[in-house]
């Protein structure tokens, strides 16, 4: 039985990894099929979910920066000029976006998009630049393109930005409708907060109260790890609830 200590040593990280995948699956609003995969095919199931679903949240370029020194901006410019690949243009554009230099980032994103028209990260970054420049009408079709191909891409980042872009564009009804669709597709506490916020802005206070009350009830009886991960959104829901009660 000399293997028992080693088994216990490996079982704890595997259990933690499984909980992480279950929480991600819940927050993402993934198909119930994946819950069965994670549970019934343990310990292989959680890894299958990670590589098929969760891995899409990461890009290789952002992953490598965890282990390597980030190159200087001048070096990124040089790479984009001398080796104008999709990766070099995208890496430079993302650094420029970090520096709030959205105008300078756009040409590099457009160049990358010509190389791969369906690259979700490039499309999303370009949409974010357009929105930050005060042109949400140009961001909207780009974000809709991402959602048409992968509704859950990057933990629903395209949905979130589209809601903000529609509101900035002055189409609050469209923003509210997108929130409703998002809650139906992925009923997380965060998405209920987004819906409640739009309902309050539209003056639909009673519905906002119901949404917040139901979502907080669900949060109260959720598993411990889920409650801890949603702590921020539970606080936001309570803040919105107070705002709704004050109207």
Q: What is the pLDDT of residue 56?
A: 67
Under DSSP, is residue 151 helix (H, G, I), strand (E, B) or coil?
Answer: coil
- CA dist 118 and 61 (Å) reads 18
Backbone φ and ψ of 82, nearest 5°: -85, -35
Q: What is the pLDDT of residue 227?
A: 85
Q: What is the pLDDT of residue 57?
A: 65
Work out the number of other CB atoms within 10 angstroms of the CB of residue 160.
18
Q: What is the pLDDT of residue 8?
A: 55
Cβ atoms 25, 34 nearer than 8 A: yes
Mean pLDDT by runs of 10 across the 247 residues of the chain is: 51 83 75 80 88 69 49 93 94 95 97 95 97 97 96 93 97 97 95 97 96 95 85 94 86
Q: Which pTM value belongs to this model? A: 0.74
Q: What is the pLDDT of residue 12?
A: 76
Q: What is the pLDDT of residue 4?
A: 45
Q: What is the pLDDT of residue 61?
A: 43
Burial annotation 42-79 (CB, 10 A radius, 16+ → b, else e): eeebbbebeeebbeeeebeeeeeeeeeeeeeeeebbeb
Domains of the chain, each with CATH number or no CATH:
1-58 (no CATH), 74-169 (1.25.40.10), 187-247 (no CATH)
Query: Which residues touch 139 (CB under 8 Å, ≥6 apart)?
Result: 126, 127, 128, 130, 131, 161, 162, 165
Q: What is the pLDDT of residue 34?
A: 81
Dihedral (C-alpha) 83, 86, 87, 90: value to the nearest 10 degrees?
110
Q: What is the pLDDT of residue 62?
A: 44
């Amino acid at each position: 039985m000399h293997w028992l200590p080693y088994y216990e040593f490996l079982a704890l990280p595997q259990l933690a990894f499984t909980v992480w995948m279950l929480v991600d699956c819940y927050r993402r609003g993934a198909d119930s099929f994946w819950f069965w995969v994670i549970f019934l095919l343990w310990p292989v199931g959680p890894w299958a979910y990670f590589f098929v679903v969760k891995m899409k949240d990461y890009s290789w370029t952002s992953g490598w920066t965890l282990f390597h020194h980030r190159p200087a901006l001048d070096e990124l410019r040089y790479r984009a000029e001398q080796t104008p690949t999709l990766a070099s243009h995208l890496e430079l554009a993302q650094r420029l976006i970090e520096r709030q230099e959205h105008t300078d980032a756009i040409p590099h994103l457009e160049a990358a998009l010509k190389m791969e028209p369906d690259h979700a990260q490039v499309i999303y970054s370009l949409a974010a630049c357009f929105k930050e420049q005060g042109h949400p009408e140009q961001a909207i079709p780009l974000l809709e393109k991402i959602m048409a191909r992968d509704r859950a891409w990057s933990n629903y980042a395209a949905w979130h930005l589209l809601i903000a872009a529609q509101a900035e564009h002055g189409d609050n009804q469209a923003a509210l409708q997108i929130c409703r669709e998002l809650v139906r597709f992925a009923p997380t506490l965060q998405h209920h907060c987004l819906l409640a916020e739009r309902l309050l802005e539209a003056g639909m206070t009673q519905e906002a109260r119901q949404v917040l009350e139901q979502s907080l009830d669900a949060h109260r009886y959720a598993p411990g790890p889920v409650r801890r991960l949603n702590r921020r959104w539970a606080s936001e829901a309570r803040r919105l609830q107070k705002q709704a009660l004050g109207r």
